[in-house]
Chain A
Amino acid sequence: MSNETAEREVILSVRHVSISFDTGHKKKFVAVKDANFDIYKGETFALVGESGSGKTTLGRAILRINPCSEGEIIFEGKRISGNISREEDRNVVRNIQMIFQDPAASLNERATIEYCVSEGLYNFHLYESEADRIAKVDKALQDVGLLPEHKSRYPHEFSGGQRQRVGIARAMIMNPKFIVADEPISALDVSIRAQVLNLMNKLKAEKNLTYLFIAHDLSVVRFIADRIAVIHLGEIVEIADSETLFQVPLHPYTISLLSSVPMPDPIVERTRKHIDYDPSKLDQSGAKRELREIRPGHFVFATDSEFEGYEEKLRSMEQEAK
């Protein structure tokens, strides 16, 4: 690891985490296999992958919704996976919050916005008096660009973008340190996606937050993320700074994923070629694959022989650049 990254404070680390589900048969379904990564304080770490790749499962494991079958998750130096005390569990809830994908489904339709936003305050009694609670709710709503007048309304009276703002407000009111954003804009209209992303960035700067941004849309990730991890069928295949990943993708799956991003330029778009990912072209010798650091901060999932291939490719690319 380079000196630059080593100096940064790690807020959350995922160590050899595997998550499996009982299928009712003898064989268990393994959604995430041996995931390993660190998230530094103040950054936006993106987890990218296709549907069913296990990215949401991993995000939910951090929030203790899905239990880890192996490995551990460490938040601020303390293990938060597996059996932990009630107090520690409440500490996790206080400090790690989630923004959900579907704002319509994630708000209680039979409760007012005031209740939705105050829910966390009630649970931890984070207010001194009733007036203080209302002031906090008003502040949280204003922070996300809604009006205090909206308090008495019900979620169905809002547009999708406004509902997502409510979802963000209820997470932010807890003053968390870490936020798992599970595809926060994929259920939104294209015209308001940028608004929500900008709002998230604004709040991150104001409140010194760290995001784990789960997405499948690479163009969005490039805009918001500092570092990106690519996950495929439960395995993390590549981790790199977002610019590095876009410039020198190494793993064939990453290359394929990047080649599928549409370009908003008709001339480029006409010549854009989609590269199919063919796992049979990988090393079939049965050697063990693991996540190796090929350049400082750039990890790739490979066997020994594949690693050498990537190294060679990278070296030639670097020479070309010179």
Chain B
Amino acid sequence: MEEKILENKSDLFEFASFDKNESEHIAAPQYSYWKSVWRTFIKNKFTVAIAILLLILILFTLIQPMISGYDPLIAPNVNDPEMRFLKPSAEHIFGTDNVGNEVFDVVWAGARNSIIISFVCTFITMVIGVTVGAIWGFSKKMDKWMIEVYNIVSNVPFLLLAMILSYVLGAGMGTLIFVMCVTEWVFVAFFIRTQVMIIRDREYNLASKCLGTSTWTMIKNNILPYLISVIMTYVARMIPSLISYEVFLSYMGLGLGVTKASLGRMISIYTSYMNGYPHLFWIPVTVLAVLSVSLYIVGQRLADAADPRTHM
């Protein structure tokens, strides 16, 4: 009976050919890490909007001071009382300040210096911190004394150190960058050291060791690729926090000298006119807030996108 059915149906069905090798060709498309990071990053409309805003802001702060040629030492309208404390208008977009300068020019020149300082500091601390941290996580000998260095540095009050260094070296951009980098890299290194220690003894590293891979190659190929997303998160936190730091130090009079425009010094001067001319205070504060919040959001989203678990 069954055979009969089979016989009847045999002309309806046909054996499909099967090629084992063929099946391998249509498997998953090629995976590229950075392409996937990019795809995940641009998936969110809000992130893209913030990123575009940030890009415009940064370009603007870099280009506008070149056009305006603002110099804090030259106040062309200082002898013209008519030009002081003007309200924002079509002619004076952000109004004018106590010495008759365009707030619009001052704010962007200040923001430019803040951005430059924070980017340079982040770059320096990250490069030193990640390199030292990666070796620190691997070397038990280095760990013994580096942990003491960390203990000492982390117990020195930052403000005290900043004050002493800026008095000794004199205020200026170089000093400020040095002050902010001189201890910060130790914290980055400690953070990376802990991360390295977590993944150092995983089996794939043991396998690399069995294949004779040197420590350096192992850091480069086995450890750092796993740390990209945590490093990105760290950078995303660091850039805006260093901008605030710069503002804070300049506000305290420890940052940039009178020769350089700075958001912090601006805020500290304009605070005294808070009652009569509040816009003088709020404009630089708003620029600072928009800048650091958008930097933080973009950095955080980029860090999320750098985590391959989000790539699916």
Instruction: Name A residues whose Cβ lies closer than 8 Å to a Cβ of B.
Output: 63, 65, 90, 93-94, 97-98, 100-102, 105-111, 115, 119-120, 122-124, 147, 149-150, 152-154, 157, 167, 170, 174
Contact = CB atoms under 8 A, between A and B. Distances in A.
Going nearest first, the 9 A-B pairs with the smallest beta carbon separation are A110-B225, A93-B212, A123-B212, A120-B211, A105-B203, A106-B203, A106-B207, A108-B204, A98-B210
Given A106-B204, A108-B221, A111-B221, A93 B210 contact: yes
Which of A100, A109, A110 is packed against the most chain B CB atoms within 10 Å?
A110
Interface stretch (B19-27, B118-126, B251-259): B19-27
B28 A119 contact: no
A149 B204 contact: no
Nearest to A63: B210
B208 A119 contact: yes
A119 B213 contact: yes
Interface string B71-111: 00000000000000000000000000000000000000000
B120 to A, nearest CB: 29
Contacts of A101: 203
A157 B212 CA distance: 26
Given A102-B203, A157-B28, A157-B31, A108 B210 contact: no
Given A65-B206, A110-B226, A153 B31 contact: yes
13 contacts: A63-B210, A98-B210, A100-B203, A100-B207, A105-B203, A107-B204, A111-B221, A119-B208, A123-B213, A153-B28, A170-B207, A170-B211, A174-B211
A292 B61 CA distance: 84
Contacts of B202: 105
B8 interface: no
Contacts of B222: 108, 110-111
Contact of A154 (B31, B208, B212): B31
B30 A152 contact: yes
Interface of B: 21, 24-25, 27-28, 30-31, 33, 202-204, 206-214, 217, 221-222, 225-226, 308
Contacts of A109: 204, 226
Contacts of A100: 203, 206-207
Of B25, B28, B203, chain A has the most CB atoms within 10 Å of the CB of: B203
A97 B207 CA distance: 9
Contacts of A63: 210
Nearest to A102: B203
A164 to B, nearest CB: 12
Contacts of B212: 90, 93-94, 120, 123-124
B195 to A, nearest CB: 14
A93 B21 CA distance: 34
Contacts of B308: 110
B207 A123 contact: no
Nearest to B213: A123
B221 A150 contact: no
Contacts of A124: 212
A124 B210 CA distance: 12
Given A167-B207, A174-B211, 18 more contacts: A65-B210, A93-B212, A97-B210, A98-B210, A100-B206, A100-B207, A102-B203, A108-B222, A108-B225, A110-B226, A115-B221, A119-B211, A120-B211, A123-B214, A149-B25, A152-B30, A153-B28, A157-B27
A46 to B, nearest CB: 20
Contacts of B27: 153, 157
Contacts of B31: 153-154, 157
A147 B27 CA distance: 12
A102 B30 CA distance: 25
Contacts of A93: 210-212
Nearest to B226: A110
B51 to A, nearest CB: 25
A90 B204 CA distance: 19
A133 to B, nearest CB: 14
Nearest to A96: B210
Contacts of B206: 65, 100, 106
B24 A150 contact: yes
Contacts of A108: 204, 208, 221-222, 225
Contacts of A102: 203
A108 B204 CA distance: 6
Interface centre among A108, A123, A167 (most CB of B within 10 A): A108
Contacts of A115: 221
Contacts of B28: 153, 157
Nearest to B21: A147
A217 B206 CA distance: 24
B213 A105 contact: no
